[in-house]
Amino acid sequence: MRTKPMSSALGAALAALMLAAAPLASAAILEKDAQDPYAAIVGDYEFDLAQIGQGIVVVNVYVEEGELWIWPETSSEPAEMTPMEGETFKFYVDDDEEGRYEITFSKNEEGIYTKCRVVNEGMGLDTTGTKIKK
């Protein structure tokens, strides 16, 4: 897997990152999901980063060439999320300056991925964001 270094702005915004997915409604979407294992979690997520002085930050999670990427609106570049072995929808991003961010997506009561938790133990960061419905 290729990786890109993560900027400090990205790291800060990633700390408040959140991810979830919309329900599947058609056969075409179901077929796409079979081809894209990340379809349930891609989209825009909103984090309240007031605790670190950044306010509301929107983060885009997307797939490019089969890899999952995260791109906060406060960053000039995205970061690739690396899957944690043996875990479903749990990833990490290593930042040379800020350490490891662990990113976990979870389902709501209806079984739809709508939450994204970001933890960076070295920074004392533990925050959860919500997927933006479109």
Record the tokens describing residue 47, joined without a space: 């984090």
pLDDT digits (tens, 9 = 90+) for 38-55: 999 999 999 998 877 788
Q: Are 75 and 57 in contact (CB under 8 A)?
A: no
Q: What is the mean pLDDT of residues 59-77?
A: 90
Record the tokens describing residue 79, joined without a space: 């970061």
Record the tokens describing residue 55, joined without a space: 């306010």
Euclidean distance between CA atoms 69 and 47, whole angstroms: 17
CATH number of 8-131: 2.40.128.50
Mean pLDDT score across all residues of the chain: 78
Collect all residues with Cβ–Cβ distance below 8 Å to 41 and sequence separation of at least 6: 19, 20, 21, 61, 68, 89, 105, 113, 116
Q: DSSP secondary-structure letter at 79? A: E
Please give the helix or strand (H or E) that residue 102 lies within, else none. strand 99-107
pLDDT of residue 35: 59
Euclidean distance between CA atoms 107 and 77, whole angstroms: 28
- Residue 59: CA count within 13 A, CB half-sphere: 38
* Extents of the domains making up the chain: 8-131
pLDDT of residue 53: 79
pTM value is: 0.71
Q: What is the mean pLDDT of residues 15-40?
A: 48
